[in-house]
Chain A
């Protein structure tokens, strides 16, 4: 690919897109090899030592283990591209029906966390930069440092102890979404998981916003705007804020990508019925098709969001655009 170098913004997007596709193909090979072509017999690993030959042969056929490895891979990938994610061994259902509603549940969780935490953390970051080295800045950066250091299952459980089980008893400790019901039907149960994910993302966005805003506030055009006698509010909101957002977009997209992995533990803590909880369950049950499908899904989400992060950064940073 080193010879093929289309230029300009669209060329860059095209190059990143191609790289993303290459990465996804390699990830699919990795996931496939790890789950299917491992030394030993997956059918026997699933059914156990005592399985009878007939059911072993049936399962091998179901998993296409009787075909050559390359053929198996092609069958699996073609299925994926046609939306056929395979059949769950545990539930004896197509994986797509099994995870359809869980996907919606997880999306609700991540979307709520993103919509609530991003403006909040941008505001905190911008205000910290404006009040640099003052009490608000120091308190918020120390708090954010502490929150960023804690693993999210620790944050989640501290919230449970504080608000659900021990100190106060105001919120539910588990957030199960019964089949047929929607997460927003019981929105009180969403508060703690959403809060946990918000805390997982906010420190990074706020920190980069503060750093970016400090740089902008020291720039010549902000100085110029002030010298023109514009009110401080106009300088901040009209001149400084939009220009400080560039680097923040990348961090936001990276953090959303991170949430794709973060929901695994958070959904387990709250027994929330999403894809994160589903993959943990599949791991415990040795349900290979579900693991493969969900691993690919989460990886694809991760790659797409990383791609968006790069493109967004290029689009909002004129300096970088001209260097392409």
Chain B
């Protein structure tokens, strides 16, 4: 998976601009497509597993239940891992921390990115240039590299990972927010609000923000997936807040070497992450197709 998909859509000449349709109506219309429905079902299922999994798990995440690397049996449905812990229980426990961190990081980036993007679009002067060049600098480091450097310096604490991922996500959201807000800034109703003396922050939050929600929703859903993948990748590299805790990325790392003996210890978390990212990919594609369809329909009007 590349970090680029939405960046290059923003740059490419031929990509259709996302229309300023209200976020929820865009999502509702995209639900007519089967791919969006399948995507939502996949994501919903995995998120549900991550949230209620710990209550369903037959054992604790660190309880030894049998010999290391034993095959699936009635006692351990997916067998045991390299330490003799129950694979199924660890998978059921292992999603929550990733999901919480990814949601926090995306929310943080959404707040910062939207603020920066809207202020940049609205200012139309040197501040715009300065802010966006600053965002370019942040984007000059590959996300995983920025996260690695942050973790290397401060240590693999949960807040470090959240802030580092938010830092890599913010410039991408800021670009989308600015791009969506730019044409609206030129419209007459903004000038009218200015003339009536509406405070600047009310124009930003009351006039600009609602009109950029559609593209921002698509971007946020994409960025959430990337955050999940990045956090899982960091854990897989051995950089997670709790090195022995149940975490899908950590599990893959720990059980990769015994793949030939007991594949389920690594394969199950791989399948779970794959289904989750496939789900968000399908949703994003469904929304993008719907948006392009609305554009085309407008062009023909």
Contacts and interface: CB of A to CB of B under 8 A. Distances in A.
Interface of A: 2, 19, 22-24, 26-27, 30-31, 34-35, 38, 145-146, 148-154, 157-158, 160-161, 164-166, 173, 200-201, 203-204, 208, 211-212, 215, 247, 250-251, 254-255, 257-258, 260-262, 264-265, 268-269, 279-280, 282-284, 286, 288, 291, 295, 298-299, 302-303, 306, 317
Sort chain B's interface into a size bin: 35 or more
16 contacts: A23-B133, A146-B278, A148-B2, A149-B225, A149-B277, A151-B232, A153-B252, A160-B256, A165-B259, A208-B12, A251-B8, A261-B3, A280-B148, A288-B152, A298-B142, A302-B142
Q: Which 10 residue pairs spanning A and B have beta carbons closest together? A: A261-B142, A149-B281, A151-B229, A165-B259, A283-B152, A165-B260, A26-B137, A166-B263, A151-B1, A149-B277
B145 A279 contact: yes
A120 B167 CA distance: 35
A2 B126 contact: yes
A203 B1 CA distance: 9
B153 A35 contact: yes
A77 B8 CA distance: 32
A295 B149 contact: yes
A212 B259 CA distance: 42
Q: Which of B136, B137, B239, B259 has the most CB of A within 10 A?
A: B137
Interface string B111-153: 0000000000000001001000100110011111100111111
Nearest to B272: A154
A146 to B, nearest CB: 6
A30 B281 contact: no
A201 B137 contact: no
Given A295-B148, A299-B142, A303-B140, 9 more contacts: A26-B137, A165-B263, A204-B4, A204-B8, A208-B14, A215-B14, A261-B144, A264-B148, A269-B256
B141 A27 contact: yes
B91 interface: no
Contacts of B12: 208, 211, 247, 250-251
A204 B12 CA distance: 12
A150 B145 contact: no
B8 A298 contact: no
Given A27-B140, A265-B237, A298-B145, A149 B4 contact: no
Nearest to A294: B145
B245 interface: no
A204 B2 contact: yes
B149 to A, nearest CB: 5
Interface string B149-177: 11111100000000000000000000000
Interface string B1-33: 111110110011111000000000000000000
Given A261-B144, A264-B148, A286-B152, A173 B270 contact: no
B1 A150 contact: yes
Contacts of A30: 137, 141
A157 B148 contact: no
Contacts of B154: 38
Nearest to A319: B13
Given A34-B149, A150-B274, A208-B8, A161 B267 contact: yes
A177 B248 CA distance: 28
Contacts of B45: none
A299 B144 CA distance: 12
A204 B148 CA distance: 25
Contact of B233 (A23, A151, A295): A151
B97 interface: no
B106 interface: no
